[in-house]
Amino acid sequence: MGDYDISGLVEDLTRLTSQISDLDTILTRGRDAIARLMRNPAAIPDVYLRAANPTRPSQYVLHRADHDRLFVTLVVWLTGQVAPIHDHQTWAIIGQYSGRTRERRFRRLDDGTRPGFAELRETAIIETAPGDITTLIPPDNDIHCPENPWPDPSVTIHAYGRYLGGYWRNTYDERGRSATPFLISNYDSVPKCFT
């Protein structure tokens, strides 16, 4: 169990997402795979545990599947870093590898038909510690705002149901009641350690 690493995780998630279409099964088995990875303190090479950007969370692509049913990233959060409120429009499994993260969850109250408008209601605040795993499932549980308000860096592992940079998603302004479409996420480069 101690030697389970990113390669093992990607292999298991690739097999899972290419053979299974039932979302509940994917989420259950995907959570188990990420939990197994997080039990190995040496699972992630050190190069991926350092922040590449001092002003925003550093996002590293660990795997992008050819069949576009799996996308795996790692995010390093320095103290005070926060992501804008955003959606994914696909399922997500997020594991807290180290440090802690605070996540505000939202539900969209409007029907999404009015361009540029969105009315959100905060539904939860979740604080995660090492080993915790959360999920996001569209449409009602897909909007969140993660941050690291603590003094130590935070590292999270993310598995998604497709490549996030390949389709339109939204950022939201809860006070301004607006939604802004965006296409590309910011991914950081590091030396390739594994595929």
Q: Please report the domains of the chain, with CATH numbers, ordered by start residue.
A: 6-182 (2.60.120.10)
For residue 105, the surrounding DSSP H or E stretch is strand 101-108
Whether the link from the prior residue into 130 is cis, omega within 30° of 0, is no
> What's the pLDDT at 169?
94
CB of 181 within 8 A of CB of 123? no
pLDDT higher than threshold 80 for residue 102: yes
pLDDT higher than threshold 50 for residue 31: yes
CB of 155 within 8 A of CB of 49? yes
Distance CA 67, CA 32 (A): 22
CB of 138 within 8 A of CB of 87? yes
Tokens of 70: 């799996």
Is 187 in a helix, a strand, or coil? Answer: coil
Please tell me which residue, 28 or 46, carries the higher pLDDT value: 28
Is 65 in a helix, a strand, or coil? Answer: coil
> Each residue of 36-57: pLDDT tens digit?
999 998 999 998 999 988 899 9
